[in-house]
Structure 1
Amino acid sequence: MQDRRGIPTMLASLVAAVCSNAVHAQAGSDTAEAPQEVLVTAQRTAAPESKTPVAMTVLTGDMLRAIGADTAGELAKRLPNVHLDGAADGLKITIRGVTNADATDKGDPSAAFMLDGIYLARPQNQNQLLLDVDRIEVLRGPQGTLYGRNTTAGAINVITRTPQQRLEAEFGVEAGNYGMRKANGMLNVPVTSALALRAAVAVDRHDSYLNNGQGTGYALGQDRDNRAARLSAQLAIGPAATLLIRYDHSTNDYNPDTFVADTNFYRNVGTGRPGGNPVWYGAPAGERLTNRFMPPNAPLEQGWGHNSTSGVGAEFTWDLGPATLYYLGAHREFDLDFLTNYIYRVPAVATLGVRENFSGGQRQDSHELRIATNGERTVSAQAGLYWFRERSHSDYTFRDLTPIGLPPYYTFPTDPTIAKSRAAFGQLTWRVTPALRATAGLRYTTDEKSRVGATRYQQGPVFNPATDLEQPNAALIETDKRTWRLGLDYDLTAATFVYGTIATGYKAGGFNDGCLFGVTTFGVHCPAAAAVPAANLFYQPETLKSYEVGAKTRFWRNRASLNAAAFKYDYTNLQLSGSAIIGGAPRFITSNAGVASVRGLELDGAVQATADDRFTYGLTLLDAHYVSYTPVPGRSWADRKLDRAPAHVLSAGYERRVRLAGGEVRAGVTARRSAAYFISVPSTLTQYQVPAMSNVDATLSYRPLDAAWSVAAYGRNLGNKIAPVTIDSFGMAVPGAPRTYGVRVDYRY
């Protein structure tokens, strides 16, 4: 076993060296302008990013436009120690090796995804269009005090632009390979001196990234047909209060057949023995992206999918003088329907085809009332109350499983699944000296989760009580947790800021299929045939304690920056999910992994070398492994790596500005090199290793001086390297996106 005892000392020494070097950095003589500081709200109050004691990355709307990114899944290469994968079942977020695979209506993420501070509970609702974005704040590490449950890995907050007291408009069109075509527009109108309106719309379409090698002529997935709109109104209510109301709506018509067989990437799979050792092999991108699987047991159908989401939210701010009162509330709806064709490997039987029909929806309401002191005080504080309720319904119907002894229709109707959460929180900062601050925060959360549903074995598409078997899935779990945060931060110099924190995080517990014998849950009685032992039905909350030290420094007349963070996590009851055959039938289960350890180092920054030359850089080191975990009886995974946790990642970027007569050209390139990492299927004792891989993106733009229009081009994944995003226990792999490129024209008024 590798000796890791020296790592905390090494990390602390590295951060100390960073701080020392920053203190002694000398100013240069070049007259290049320093980049403008970004204000963030990571601590729920506006502050410069360089003075915020959180490891974070900020992506502005202009950055997103430059790289052609308009969904969250396209951003991961710009984020240290973060994977954002547009998986088949929604956005999969992994931060510092911590992730979640349960995208069902009873599952919870490990990282909170928010739109203008509103928590979006379902991962299927998190990869919508990024419309009229001001910035995206990605917070790494537990955020349990100010952001609440399900933030053990971190939090992502997409912050959109608000109405302004000026007339302005934007319009853009874009075209690229795979039939990509995009258009967006924005109009901001000051109606009166107190009221401003803002409207934004966008359309994003492209054809499938996959090749059909099945000979059917059907279209495959990894396509897109998104349409989105948002209307905002901001009203000044007297001199001290403001009301901001937003309404948004978006739809996506797509094909959920996003899979290929894992054999597109690996040999020595599908042998029928657990704990196999898949071996990566080289293949061109076109082969990786080709689905050749023809099911021996059932015909294929044309896959299709449609989802829609909408929401209305309100923000109210009232300056009371010594403090400001904030209210943030929203109602959101999400609906999803699809038909997909699965690849379904069953050891010792065959690799089957399975068709699934799904129909479901989700409604959520949330309210938060918070008060925070104003100004630079010796003691500043904020406190609030939070309430959340989510109600979901779903109906999964699987066909074509008769070869393994199941009936023609194997279904999971659920109505409802309900999640409730209530919390009270507070955070206090004491300015011990003008340069030294101490922070303490506490949050108390109670959660209740329940479900009423069934597992049905049907002879036809409609359940018939006379001929079909039904086993109830009914459970109720209540959990509560106190999460806290202690921190110190210090202005080492006017341009160098250091901090240290100890924080805890909490992810709610839950349940699997089945029920407790003899228990009646919401009118549903549990018979012996459906009974599951409590140890298998319920899984416990996931908790962690985090230790982190960091430094943020600006030097060389603020033309260079360096952010450093060293961290150590102790996880208990890490929640892992996957499919497994239980009682002769496939089930999706979540279990607790025991204890896991995560530690690492993150360095990133930028250098404005001259007025026309800018460099960016980043380095992450990560050791994320299980301390104790037994995925199946008698097999220990202690010391094995957590998923999507490469030991190191190195990134570098360069942008050059060239002034031409009447305009300027900007050209940039970004490269990222990742060490190997694993994607695991614990239920089959299998770990797929994704080898070390490099990726290069490029941008090119031209803007005439004093002109309202600009033109830009970009290319992503120029090497056309394809790696799997997810792999499940039945042999389905979702490949990453291929090389894409596009040209864009923007007009701003």
Structure 2
Amino acid sequence: MAQGSSDSRAMANSGELEVIEVTAQKKSTALQSTPIAITAFTGEMFEQRGIDDLTNLQSYVPGLHIGQEQDGFKISLRGIGLQGTSSISDSGVAFYIDNNYIARPAGGSSIFYDIERIEVLRGPQGTLYGRNATGGVVNVISKGPAEYFSAQAGVSVGSRGHQELRGVLNVPINEQLSTRVSAVYTEEEGYVTNTSSAPGADDFFGTDGDTTVRGQMLWGSPETTEVLLSGTYSDLQGTGLNMVYLERNPGGPPPTQALVATIPEDPTDPLKAASDARAFNNTETASGLVRLIHNLQGNEIFFQASYLDQTTRTQQDFDGSPVDISIFNKNQDSTAKSAELRFASDDTQTLSWIVGGYYFAEDTFIFRRVRLNGLAGPGVINLPDFLLDEDGQSETLAAFGTATFAVSDEFRLSLGARHTRDEKTGTKVTRGNFGAPFPPDIPNDQYSGVAKFTENSYMLGAEWDYSEDVFMYASTSTGYKAGGFNLTSNGLPYDPEHITAYEFGIKSDLWNRKAQMNLDVFYYDYQDLQLTTLATVNNAPGQFTTNAAQSTIYGAELETQFVLNEQWRLLATFSYTEAEFDELYSTDNRDPAPVANPNDPAGLGRTDLAGNKVPYVAEHSVSLGLQYGKVLGNGGYLQAAINTLWQGDMYLREFNHPEIDKVEAYTKTDATLGYAFPGDKLSLTLFATNLENDVQKSNVYVSPGFLGQSATTAYTKPRTLGMRVDYRFGE
């Protein structure tokens, strides 16, 4: 908070809203003159609003939902962006850290330290960001090396034994070379209490110690050439994920069904569990990038290459009970490399443009093991394991370009296009199936195990400076997410997603930047939405992805800020989203009368779900925030903020089951109170999130058929209270 408090103090004295620069269009522009529905936060804003991890963003970004499944988290914007967990599945919302695409994001909390800002772009960004941005983009931008010496150290304590140590050291070597190192270490007990006394059983959704270290070196000058070298290492030691059963449908081999029948009644408190198995969710990530920016008489050459290696180790009690029935292990090893080269013209010209090329390749190996017990004869027996190896590769090559022509000083037209070539390959090997016959492996005679796609995306836009304070824009754009094949089940292919979006927006800074009102209206024509369901295919459990033929999504989002006086600021957002399936046949084994459908090659049984709501987006949401900042007579700075989100009903799956999929309307309130001592070196902040102490389902996962296909969920974090202290050295 120390650095941020200086900025807040300046804004409080001026009584104006700050100007935020963003790079959403691959170039630096002011947020209020960027023709995209975008919410941006500076690092200071995170501290003001008490945002301490990725899930907290949901209270501040319209249409954003973040859930977790197994070893990763899922991001959705306006109902678009979910993904499966196979080695060739993709998210529809692209997640970036420092312009580096992260295909399989895991963890998520440690990245929020020492950042410059976070940009959330809503709507398809296919032209500049490619196939994984049908729903939008989340871009985390770190603070880079500065030309002056500075250092910061901090400590936090809070609920559930939360402890955090953090530090930053920025050292300029000379006029051309600067370095920066940041580190954070966190421990916290889980917020789901495990009442089991079994050895190794621990509370869920905590950490035994998360460590992240980032080092950067910047050489050169922005007037000529800059070269950035950056490396990050992260070791996250999670205490495991809990599976709360929303229903229990006994299934699997007869001995297993007999043992499932002995499970006692589940805890009624969603934040209590009775799981006998040791659980963990560990992620180790190492990444590096090199970036070169060369200024050529106002034009810019940009090149960035990156490499990422990520290992996750997950263990879950799949029966979620004190009875020793089933344990699930997933080990995932993923490597990814990417490169982007682009050329950008001087923006002061009548015609400005960006052209570039992009390459991305990923290789992911997943080992899955399910241990299963049963009841037969005199007692418990151990069934043979289910063992599945999965190896998938994805490769993308793209060329893109945008051009903006200034028809006049106030009116501009834009055109963008991207050509993408995608290839996915994969194999699976089943080495055990509870003693049952092995299902066919992939590739096999059903499908070759190779999928190739070629796609052209475009964008047409218009911008109008209606006045000095009012900016208007309109656009039509397309987005695309590559198809694939059902690698973990029957190998059958599924089609790419396609979206055509129409948007109109107004951004305004009124009354000498004392009020800001941004409105975005959108309409999506969404074709072949990819939906993933867990099903038993070919005598074995696996993920089955199919396409929803057509969906329509439309709505409006209003984001506002008001400077009431030099001390008080009001923030308010409102979103309305109507999202439903126009045509969809999908699988639900609980439906008593599935509709026969010739488009059912797997023979799973299909249900007509046309008219159902698209998951992970509420029809209405409202957010209200109030901020206070005042310079005291002794030179200290007092700062306070409170924010309340009200979100309407929404569903977590396409089936819209009222008992399983529905999340009832709720409110969530966060608050902070901070004081920066005179001189802005030392600061103290008290924070509270989810003051209501109300929790909601965040995701629905259907347990595999060897236990009976039953819906399970995980719940969001309850009330969290804490205090942080920061001390800043140097400038």
Fold match, TM over 0.5?
A: yes
Letter in 1 for 2:586: P
Structure 2 Cα separation of the partners of residues 447 and 504 of structure 1: 17
Counterpart in the other structure of 2:623: 651
Cross-structure match for 1:309: 285
Q: 1:731 aligns with which of 688, 694, 711?
A: 711
Partner of 2:502: 547
Q: Distance in 2 between matches of 1:236 and 1:641?
A: 52
1:630 alignment partner in structure 2: 585
Indicate how the Cα distance of structure 1 residues 423 and 691 shifts in structure 2: closer, same or farther if over 3 A, else same. same
Distance 1:681 1:212, change over 3 A: farther
Q: Secondary structure at the match of 1:626?
A: strand
Aligned amino acid, residue 177 of structure 1: S
CA distance, structure 1, for counterparts of residue 375 and residue 618 of structure 2: 39
Deviation, 1:645, is 1.5
Deviations 1:175-217, CA, capped at 9 Å, x for gaps: 0011101111111111011100111111122101011234536
Contact 1:90 1:126 in 2 (8 A): no
| Alignment equivalent of 1:367, drawn from 339, 342, 358 | 339
Report the residue type matching 1:171 in the other structure. Answer: A
For the structure 1 residues 470 and 82, does the alpha-carbon distance in structure 2 shift closer, same or farther, using more than 3 Å as the test? closer
- Mapped partners of 2:716, 2:660: distance in 1: 18
Residue 98 to residue 680, structure 1, CA distance change in 2 (3 Å): same
1:146 deviates by 0.4
2:202 to 219, 226, 234: 219
* Deviation, structure 1 residue 125: 6.0
Q: How does 1:26-175 map to 2 (within 5 A)?
A: 33-124=15-106, 128-175=110-157
Residues 659-699 of structure 1: per-residue CA shift (max 9 Å, x gap): 43312321211011111111126599985211111111111
- Which residues in structure 2 correspond to 1:513-528 (within 5 Å)? 513=487
Whole-angstrom CA distance in 2 between matches of 1:67 and 1:571: 34
| 1:135-186 Cα distance to aligned partner (Å, 9 max, x none) | 0000000000001111000001100011111111111110001110111111
Paired with 1:439 and 1:446, the residues of 2 have a C-alpha distance of: 24
For 1:472, the aligned partner's letter is D
1:716 equivalent in alignment to 2:689:
yes
One of 304, 311, 315 as aligned partner of 1:335: 311
- Residue 294 of structure 2 corresponds to 318
Deviations 1:451-470 (A, max 9, x none): 1221232579xxxxxx9847
Assess if the C-alpha contact under 8 Å between 1:546 and 1:569 holds in 2. Answer: yes
Determine helix, strand or coil for the equivalent of 2:453.
strand
Aligned to 1:245: 229
Distance in 2, Cα, partners of 1:683 & 1:83: 17
The 1:286–1:47 alpha-carbon spacing in structure 2 relative to 1, beyond 3 Å, is farther
- Partners of 1:134 and 1:603 in 2: CA distance: 25
Partner SS state of residue 456, structure 2: strand
Amino acid aligned to 2:441? P
Match of 2:8 in 1: none
1:382-531 alignment runs, 5 A limit = 382-400=354-372, 408-414=384-390, 416-457=391-432, 469=438, 471-474=440-443, 475-513=449-487
Moved more, 634-643 or 685-694: 685-694
Shift of 1:68: 4.2
Q: Is 1:236–1:242's contact at 8 Å kept on the other side of the alignment? A: yes
1:253 to partner: Cα distance: 0.7
1:635-714 alignment, distance < 5 Å = 635-662=607-634, 663-680=636-653, 682=655, 688-714=661-687
Q: Tell me how far apart the structure 2 counterparts of residues 235 and 114 of structure 1 sit (CA, whole Å).
A: 23
Against the structure 1 CA distance between its residues 382 and 401, is the aligned structure 2 distance closer, same or farther, given a 3 Å change threshold?
Answer: farther
Query: C-alpha separation between the residues in 2 aligned to 1:171 and 1:142?
Result: 39
Task: Tell me how far apart the structure 1 counterparts of residues 221 and 642 of structure 2 sit (CA, whole Å).
Answer: 47
> Aligned AA for 2:727?
Y
1:691 and 1:707 mapped to 2: Cα distance?
43
Q: Aligned equivalents of 2:506 and 2:30: distance in 1?
A: 14
Give the counterpart letter for 1:192 in structure 2: N
Gaps of 5+ in 1: 1-29, 264-268, 273-284, 294-299, 346-350, 461-466, 516-531
Q: Is it true that 1:748 corresponds to 2:724 in the alignment?
A: no
3-state DSSP of counterpart to 1:74: helix
Task: Give the superposition deviation at 1:657.
Answer: 2.5
CA distance in 1 between partners of 2:652 and 2:512 (Å) = 44
Alignment of 1:236 onto 2:220: yes
Instruction: Tell me the distance in 2 between the aligned counterparts of 1:492 and 1:697.
Output: 37
TM-score normalised to the size of structure 1? Answer: 0.85
Query: What is the letter of the counterpart of residue 402 of structure 2?
Result: Q
Distance 1:700 1:152 in 2: 38
**Structure 2 residue matching 1:610: 3-state secondary structure:** coil
CA contact (8 A) 1:553 1:563 kept: yes
- Post-superposition CA distance 1:344-380 (Å, at most 9, x none): 89xxxxx994211222211111000000001311100
CA positional deviation for 1:584: 3.8
The 8 Å contact of residues 213 and 291 in structure 1, kept in 2 or not, is answered as yes
> One-letter code of the match for 1:666?
Q
- Quickly say closer, same or farther: Cα 1:77–1:513, change in 2 above 3 A: same
User: Which structure 2 segments of 5+ residues have no match?
Assistant: 1-11, 252-266, 444-448, 588-593, 596-606, 703-709
Structure 1 residues 386-445: Cα deviation after superposition (integer angstroms, max 9, x where no partner) = 11110111100111166899952111112x311000000000000000000100000000
Q: Is the 8 A contact 2:691 2:719 kept in 1?
A: yes
Identity value in percent? 27
CA contact (8 A) 1:342 1:354 kept: yes
Could you tell me whether the CA contact under 8 Å between 1:66 and 1:712 is conserved in 2?
no
Partner of residue 25, structure 1: none
SS of 1:720 mapped into structure 2 = coil
Q: TM-score, normalised by structure 2?
A: 0.87
Q: 1:636–1:286: structure 2 CA closer, same or farther, 3 Å change rule?
A: closer
Q: What amino acid is aligned across from residue 332 of structure 2 in structure 1?
A: G
Amino acid at match of 2:236: N
Query: For the aligned residues, what is the CA RMSD?
Result: 2.6
Mapped to 2, the partners of 1:540 and 1:486 lie a distance apart of: 25
Q: Does 1:619 align with 2:571?
A: no
Residues 615-662 of structure 1: per-residue CA shift (max 9 Å, x gap):
000000010100000114612111110112111001101112344331
Distance in 1 (CA, whole Å) between partners of 2:83 and 2:231 is 30
**CA deviation string 1:254-285 (max 9, x = no partner):** 1223322226xxxxx7599xxxxxxxxxxxx9
Deviation readout 1:2-49 (Å, 9 max, x if unpaired): xxxxxxxxxxxxxxxxxxxxxxxxxxxx99521220000101111100
Residue 73 of structure 1 contacts residue 91 of structure 1 at CA under 8 Å; is this kept in 2?
A: no
**One-letter code aligned to 1:492:** Y
